[in-house]
Amino acid sequence: MDTTRLLLLFSLILFGAYTEHQGEKTMRKIHANETKQKQYKKEMKEEDAFFIRRAMELSHVAVADGHGHPFGSVVVKDGKIIGEGWNKTAVLHDPSAHAEVEAIRDASKNIASNSLAGCTIYASAQPCPMCLSLIYLTGIEKVYYCIPGKTIEAMDARLSVEHIYRELAKPAVERSIPEIPILPEEVEKNVGLYKVHYP
């Protein structure tokens, strides 16, 4: 066997081993996710079903009142609802008025705090990337949802947010919307403001 053939054979063996390794990694990930989901289901309490049903009720309110798409949400702390919301994008002409955002605004006002640490959010459907970001920002600790995003997408492709999840998973420089840092000379003059600690 000449050197070229030997190299080719060696490369094929290496590629095969790599593919097998990647396959095993994927299987392990799927198994870990399934185990996690089973554990979550086991931990689900009667009150969780009650709160998710309330979120579903609110999704019907959104449609019945012509406020927006059928999405509802509640924020819960210490076993009590502290905020409720449903989609109001149509009535408010506000693209950010998603059910979870509305529920979070309501909860934050009611407890007069920007932090929702120790809270759980229940949403009629899987949160979109905007709502999920807000959930992280507020310190909410758990999300329960009823309808998966993929099921909504199958009903109405216009409600799909998969492309946004894909964009966010990319490094910033590879995203379709450019983020361009400008006026570097202004940074030093203004950066001091960020040292102020707000309540």
* Residues labelled as active-site residues: 100
Write down the least CB distance from residue 63 to Zn ion, Å: 16
Measured from the CB atom, the residue of 67 and 98 that comes closer to Zn ion is 98
Return the closest-CA partner of residue 68 out of 76, 78, 58, 77. 58
Nearest distance from residue 9's CB to Zn ion, in Å?
53
Contacts of 87 (CB under 8 A, 6+ apart): 59, 62, 67, 68, 69, 70, 71, 72, 97, 98, 99, 102
Q: Tell me how far, at minimum, the Cβ of 36 lies from Zn ion, in Å.
A: 23
Q: Which is nearer to Zn ion, 88 or 98 (CB)?
A: 98
Rounded Cα distance between 90 and 141, Å, is 29
Binding site for Zn ion (CB under 5 A): 98, 128, 130-131
Would you say 38 or 166 has its CB closer to Zn ion? 166
91 vs 15: CA distance, rounded Å: 56
Residue nearer to Zn ion on the CB measure, 104 or 131: 131
Rounded to a whole number of angstroms, the minimum distance from the CB of residue 96 to Zn ion is: 8
d(CA 173, CA 2): 44
Contacts for 154 with CB less than 8 Å, ≥ 6 apart: none
Min dist. Cβ of residue 163 to Zn ion (A): 14
Nearer to Zn ion, 76 or 128 (CB): 128
3-state SS, residue 82: strand
Query: What burial letters (b/e) apply to 118-151, b meaning 16+ CB within 10 Å?
Result: ebbbbbbbbbbeebbebbeebebeebbbbbebee
